[in-house]
Structure 1
Amino acid sequence: MGSPAFLKVILGDDSSQRLTFQNGLPGTVDELVCDVQRLCGLTSSFRLQFMDSLFGNDFMNLTSMEEVQDRGTIRVIPLVAAPQCSYSPSTLVLANVTESPSSSIGTVDTDILSSPESDQSCSRPVWPSIFSVPQFIYDAELKLERGNAAHREGVTPFLPDSKLRSNVLEGLIQEVVKYRLYVSDKQWNDVGQALIAKHPCLTEKGSMSGYAGWKMSLKNKLAIYRTHLRKLGCREVLINSAQNKPRGRVNAALGIKKPKRSEVNYCPPYPIGECEESLEDLRKELLLDVKRRDNRETVRIKMEKTFASRRYEVVRETPMIQDFQARWPALFEVDEINAEFKRITTMPLQSRFLSQLDILSDKLLKLFRNRGGQIGKRLEDILACMTEDDDVDGGRECILKALCVYLNEDPECLLREFVAQDEIQVQEGMEETTVGIYIIKADATSQADDIGIILEGQQVLQDVDNVPLAVAMLFGLIYALNLNYPDGLKHTFEVLQKIVMELEGTMLSRKVQVLKNKLFE
């Protein structure tokens, strides 16, 4: 049991509260949100900010528990008070509004103001761990209040009329689309459970769950609402319209392009005032900017501004890596991969990946050493390379290799070592690699001369400092390029995503769920 921790929570201009955590601070941001919601009695959706001492105690959006310390200060920001500028219906219409290219490319100051990351309120929030049922219209709330009272007294079952049912469905859909336009079955279950928990009078007596009918109605309602959004020009649903489907497809429902790995900004709209032509002009400017020295800040600003265009190209057209690298060479750098991953998920990549791996390392090592059989022998050989004097990066590399073996996957599919004596053989080996990390050495026992990433037989990143960083960058590129996990490493990358990075960590495959259960026994 951990020692107690304390946080000051600012709820408003004249309202704050001290929270006590008897067992220490929660392990994840989602858990902290749940605790704040429960202890402070909050009913509406919100996000949290922390006081950052590096920037004069300004408040910054909270994305990692590493940013929260005991006796620190956090602030509650109601989502209903923040403008949902990227996903409100009025902005969805603006996605098709065009201006002249000449008027949309301005000075550096203008670029900063219109960049996606300069206005964090434009990002769609992550799906909450506990779904909050919104406040319905006044007459609907009166009917529900009367129905809940009758339900508590156990009198005649409450039967909602068609108007009340319509109001409830409309209110829930408007709350759901703040987070997702394509909702998984588990997330619908979250909505249904929250609905009957807040309004028990709406519990359906004829279903096992109590909300099966509501769940089906909500699915149909959201499908109709997506049709409405498509007519308004919402690009996230436009990519799934009939004209964007391959000809001759028998089932149009197959291959729907939607977030599957907790992507917050899966296919965002263009920045206000921008159009396809103006962003294409910026892309061409970037081709020249990346060749200039000391031009990093300009490249960063333009990469932020062209994020929506680049993302739409990746999601809709699924280009070949070689072609995409030629069009967006600035993306294939460590700093920009980190930035792109944060644009997509609102979560830091490199710092979170390495720190979370370190946090889990002791538990993973214990599991690896307790494994028996042939896999246990292979794990023993890998862990034998680890010594107390070994550097941190070397230890992380061994843990990543051992993780592959523990999941009955081949670490050579992830890390391929080449001896640089035969350049032709090295080149042929790289061309045969679809997704992986290469390590070039002068001989089998020497240190690596070069570490990089290969995608579709192309070297997309070179001279990476170490193997763990290369794995983090490969993970980020899979998100940035919307790639599937390689078949031979799908469980390893699922662990990296759902356990290490804690992205979509509630829906696990059987093998990964077993690993997670053992880690947190």
Structure 2
Amino acid sequence: MDSAMLRVLFGHRIEKLTLPSGIPETMEELNLAIKQTLSITDNFSLQYLDPDFGDFFTLNSTAEITHKATIKVVTINPVVLSLYPLPLNDSYDESFTSEQSHDPASTSSTVQDSCGSCESSSESSAIISASSSLQKKPWPTDFIIPRFSVETEMILERANEVYRKEGTLLTMPNIKSDILEKLAQSIYTYTPYPSLQNRLSVAEALIKAHPCLKDPGSSSGVIGWQNSIKYKMANYRTKLRGFGIPDVTCNALKHKCPADRKSAKNVKKAKRAEVNYLPPYPAGENEQSLEKVREELVTESKKKNNENVVKDQMSKTFALRRHEIINLCPTVRAMKDRWPALFDPSQINAEFQRTTTVLLEPKFMSALDRHTPKLLMLFRAKGGALGRRLEIIMELLQDSVHSSIERTREVVLRCLIEYLGEQGGHLIKEFNDKENLEELEQLIMAITVTPKPGASTSNSLKNIGIVIEGVEVITGLGDIARACSLLLGLTYALNLDYPTQLKYTFEVFQKLFLELDDSKLSSKVQSLKSKLQA
């Protein structure tokens, strides 16, 4: 079947979608391909450009589009109702209420009982209510500069016109505070701890939108703004801590144990592109109410054909689970006892998507398959002792009897570990029998392969599982590639560090295969990426 390409319009983005197997037969397959390519987490519908009318119409069937057709992604924003208790002077922050009601990051309706105490300020009520429904978004490819106040927008419009005609920069420091406040609010919808690269991208977007704001002290015109954004975000986090926002409150000194009470030590923030690293509790819920749901979840997870109930309860208790993992650092055994459903493969995928907004297994396998031809070429071209080791591993591909896509993926992954200068035995542990329990209990993080009764060399007769901290958390997996993706998912779900002896392997899994935080690579992985793109 011939491949097909589609032109996809999504907001301000225009992307080319390549479909190796041609136009999908069903809308579900097309929606999944678009969701993975554009990393869309919201609900959406599709429209196609009708050549007869020259306008977009709702796409109900993939039969209505052909190769090189143009389709548009239309997100479906939920309706959010926010009610706030009025203070005694009957005034409240109307601008915040309006902004929150139209916040596209809000993913569920938020209703707050207005009969609560009126002693707290309207600003406190607004911010706490916003935190209950706010879901973080992945950092955008192109940062969108928010609208500033009316007077600031008027000043900038005139100053930009003067700059285009005369090249004169704006010298009105009194509007800088308004600009930085709006930027901080917008940045926080992505992360409370923007990296240097994040801050530079915001500064560059600001100068591109308003060239009159260039910093005269640097050739690029953005260094001064980058520094101002850095200090503004620090002040903004301090402000949010006053309202108990969890992803910044956890780093306040009074919330750390005495041994860690240094501002720069043990900062609990997203380090691997986690979008929802430490989310607030859902509106109307607290630790006690969610604990009751967790207890029900343990019971429900023991029942058969109960996937939908378990899925809903896992989603509802996501914030409670993250608070336990980030703040209490429980053992894997304790997590398995309290959250048994978390170690089901489907729930690992769901938890990974909740944390990063990225589909785990589909994207991992798709990237692995896409890079396989080039990787095999690199492996075969390698000489010396490493080349001989890779050749021995690749001999498995010559066995036509047991050849399959799963076998090919396994061979590529085993070779990849060796190619990166690490040892496959550190990740994949093979046992001849089930009697080596003492050795299994010593494993920190590994994929285990044990024979089934009557086993041969075929993986279909092997039991593949995952062991973390000496605990066998998953068994009965079908292949090594799936085990690798689920192990990566568990490191996110349980906030675990990568094994030191496999740091390059997991970096490839995360940054090359899943494209999470892929802007900063080690020299070894950057070299591999360059070769794959050559």
Partner of 1:49: 44
Report SS of the residue matched to 2:477. Answer: coil
Report SS of the residue matched to 2:519. Answer: coil
Q: Is the 8 A contact 2:428 2:448 kept in 1?
A: yes
Report deviation, 1:9: 4.3
Is 1:378–2:399 an aligned residue pair? no
Report SS of the residue matched to 2:398. Answer: coil
Cα separation, partners in 2 of 1:250 and 1:348, compared to 1, 3 Å: closer
Partner of 1:326: 337
CA distance in 2, matches of 1:33, 1:400: 26
Partner of 2:509: 496
Q: Is the 8 A contact 1:330 1:336 kept in 2?
A: yes
CA distance in 2, matches of 1:391, 1:308: 40
CA distance in 2, matches of 1:254, 1:18: 39
Cα separation, partners in 2 of 1:345 and 1:70, compared to 1, 3 Å: farther
Is 1:179–2:190 an aligned residue pair? yes
Partner of 1:239: 250
Report deviation, 1:123: 3.2
Partner of 2:499: 486
Larger RCO, structures 1/2 (Cα 8 Å, 6+ apart)? 1
Cα separation, partners in 2 of 1:469 and 1:32, compared to 1, 3 Å: closer
Q: Is the 8 A contact 1:131 1:190 kept in 2?
A: yes
Cα separation, partners in 2 of 1:414 and 1:207, compared to 1, 3 Å: same
Q: Is the 8 A contact 1:95 1:234 kept in 2?
A: no
Report deviation, 1:147: 2.3
Report deviation, 1:52: 11
Q: Deviations over 1:128-154 (max 9, x none)?
A: 111122222222122222322332234
Q: Is the 8 A contact 1:95 1:272 kept in 2?
A: no
Q: Deviations over 1:193-242 (max 9, x none)?
A: 11112222211122243222211111111111111111112111121121
Partner of 1:136: 148
Q: Is the 8 A contact 1:92 1:232 kept in 2?
A: yes
CA distance in 2, matches of 1:252, 1:294: 48
Report SS of the residue matched to 2:312. Answer: helix
Report the residue type matching 2:73 in the other structure: R
Report the residue type matching 2:441 in the other structure: E
Partner of 1:433: 443
CA distance in 2, matches of 1:311, 1:72: 41
Q: Matches of residues 188-227 of structure 1 in structure 2 within 5 Å?
A: 188-227=199-238
Is 1:85–2:106 an aligned residue pair? yes
From 152, 170, 177, the counterpart of 1:158: 170
Report the residue type matching 1:73 in the other structure: I
Cα separation, partners in 2 of 1:202 and 1:385, compared to 1, 3 Å: same
Report deviation, 1:349: 1.3
Report the residue type matching 1:129 in the other structure: T
Report the residue type matching 2:365 in the other structure: L
Report SS of the residue matched to 1:403. Answer: helix
Cα separation, partners in 2 of 1:267 and 1:250, compared to 1, 3 Å: closer
CA distance in 1, matches of 2:413, 2:229: 42
Report the residue type matching 1:139 in the other structure: E
Report deviation, 1:410: 0.8
Q: Is the 8 A contact 2:417 2:505 kept in 1?
A: yes
Q: Matches of residues 342-357 of structure 1 in structure 2 within 5 Å?
A: 342-357=353-368
Partner of 1:409: 422
Q: Deviations over 1:395-428 (max 9, x none)?
A: 10111111111110111111000000xx44x212
CA distance in 1, matches of 2:518, 2:482: 22
Q: Matches of residues 196-345 of structure 1 in structure 2 within 5 Å?
A: 196-249=207-260, 251-345=262-356
Q: Which moved more, 1:213-222 or 1:367-376?
A: 367-376
CA distance in 1, matches of 2:359, 2:67: 18
Q: Is the 8 A contact 1:7 1:18 kept in 2?
A: no
Report the residue type matching 1:165 in the other structure: K
Q: Which moved more, 1:467-476 or 1:161-170?
A: 161-170
Q: Which moved more, 1:140-149 or 1:193-202?
A: 140-149
From 374, 385, 405, the counterpart of 1:363: 374
Is 1:74–2:87 an aligned residue pair? no
Cα separation, partners in 2 of 1:330 and 1:91, compared to 1, 3 Å: farther
Partner of 1:125: 137
CA distance in 2, matches of 1:165, 1:381: 63
CA distance in 1, matches of 2:292, 2:478: 34
Report the residue type matching 1:489 in the other structure: L
Report the residue type matching 1:429 in the other structure: E
Report the residue type matching 2:427 in the other structure: L
Report SS of the residue matched to 1:229. Answer: helix
CA distance in 1, matches of 2:366, 2:182: 40
Report deviation, 1:337: 0.9
Q: Is the 8 A contact 1:86 1:269 kept in 2?
A: no
Report SS of the residue matched to 2:155. Answer: helix
Report deviation, 1:454: 0.5
Report deviation, 1:69: 8.2
Q: Is the 8 A contact 1:47 1:76 kept in 2?
A: no
CA distance in 2, matches of 1:460, 1:52: 44
Report deviation, 1:370: 1.6
Q: Is the 8 A contact 2:3 2:19 kept in 1?
A: no
CA distance in 2, matches of 1:430, 1:391: 29
Q: Deviations over 1:41-83 (max 9, x none)?
A: xxxx997835499xxx899xxxxxxxx9853633244988444
Report deviation, 1:24: 5.7
Cα separation, partners in 2 of 1:281 and 1:172, compared to 1, 3 Å: same
Cα separation, partners in 2 of 1:437 and 1:154, compared to 1, 3 Å: same
Report the residue type matching 1:431 in the other structure: E
Q: If the length of structure 1 is used for normalisation, what is the TM-score?
A: 0.81
Partner of 1:115: none
Report deviation, 1:281: 1.0
Report the residue type matching 1:271 in the other structure: P
Q: Is the 8 A contact 1:342 1:348 kept in 2?
A: yes
Aligned length in residues: 465
CA distance in 2, matches of 1:18, 1:487: 38
Cα separation, partners in 2 of 1:459 and 1:498, compared to 1, 3 Å: same
| Percent identity between the two aligned chains | 37
Q: Is the 8 A contact 1:370 1:376 kept in 2?
A: yes
User: Where do 5+ consecutive residues of structure 2 fail to align?
Assistant: 21-32, 49-57, 61-65, 78-98, 111-123
CA distance in 1, matches of 2:439, 2:388: 28
CA distance in 2, matches of 1:395, 1:344: 30
Report SS of the residue matched to 2:521. Answer: coil
From 517, 521, 527, the counterpart of 1:508: 521
Report the residue type matching 1:85 in the other structure: S
Report deviation, 1:444: 7.9
CA distance in 2, matches of 1:20, 1:290: 41
Report SS of the residue matched to 2:510. Answer: helix
Report deviation, 1:359: 1.2
CA distance in 2, matches of 1:156, 1:124: 38
Is 1:146–2:158 an aligned residue pair? yes
Q: Which moved more, 1:74-83 or 1:401-410?
A: 74-83
Report SS of the residue matched to 1:248. Answer: helix
Give me the CA root mean square deviation: 3.5
Report deviation, 1:249: 3.3
Report deviation, 1:246: 2.4
